[in-house]
Structure 1
């Protein structure tokens, strides 16, 4: 058995309290007389030895990775201008399959019907032309009357003329109040419950 005094001499407390004894960087103080050293537990795994790889294999891997990236870039550039599909705007496949069955033949018009439609189109064109000419003439009459009235007013008083041509500041900040929402429907029962959103998500 070791002597208790010897153990007490080698204890950490005794070594730390002894003057002029160097302190090790790993925790336990050591001296030349002690002749042993204790280090902390690192719990580290030994480093694996790196395998030497042929430079040709490394270059081939880099080439494959570069070609893959270039292919993805070309695919993105090709599909850059394609719009995202909208399911609501696409025609169902069932309707496309039954297109020939649902297609209605064009009715054969008789010469009398064709002539009547042409005459009706001409009458409608004449009516719209006369309506346009009447509107333009009415606007010209109103503007002419306004111009003549201002000329007469200028002959009477220049101050009244300047006040007449001034903009009405009460009409410029025009505000109007009306219904801000659809009026409620009487005896309408709003739906209540859970629903599942099945809309597709598209990444940019």
Structure 2
């Protein structure tokens, strides 16, 4: 799964490098794994500005601007928080696109509303934030690997839609993504 994530990350890099756009992350339960996957690709400094590991609610509110009311009403493991983390990362890191991950990886910490294995992934830009929910528990390490891989895959699909979709009329070969020069 790690190898697949790196391949997907390379494709993200190629798209962002070719378009001149930037990416950032806001991670809770994955603790920087998404960022690590992105920066494993040579040349990532051309498009990846950074990531915020917001493991506590305090960091979510202070650095990402997540509403304390949202955290209290919905908990940190919620769609609403994942959305606000994306928006907060875009603002704090001054990037065009962002990925967020918040969840309960286990082996403890689950609740009735968000049992272990519940992970919300947010991704998008300043105009549109989408979310995806993972709900199965495969054990901490696998939960984190799945969340990282899914976050990268969702962002890649979003970028393809936004960037290749915008050029589809002008480029008859929109699937051909140039390799990043390093």
TM-score interval (norm. to shorter): under 0.3
TM-score, normalised with respect to structure 2: 0.17
Based on CA coordinates, which of the two structures has the bigger radius of gyration? 1
More strand by share: 2
TM-score, normalised with respect to structure 1: 0.16
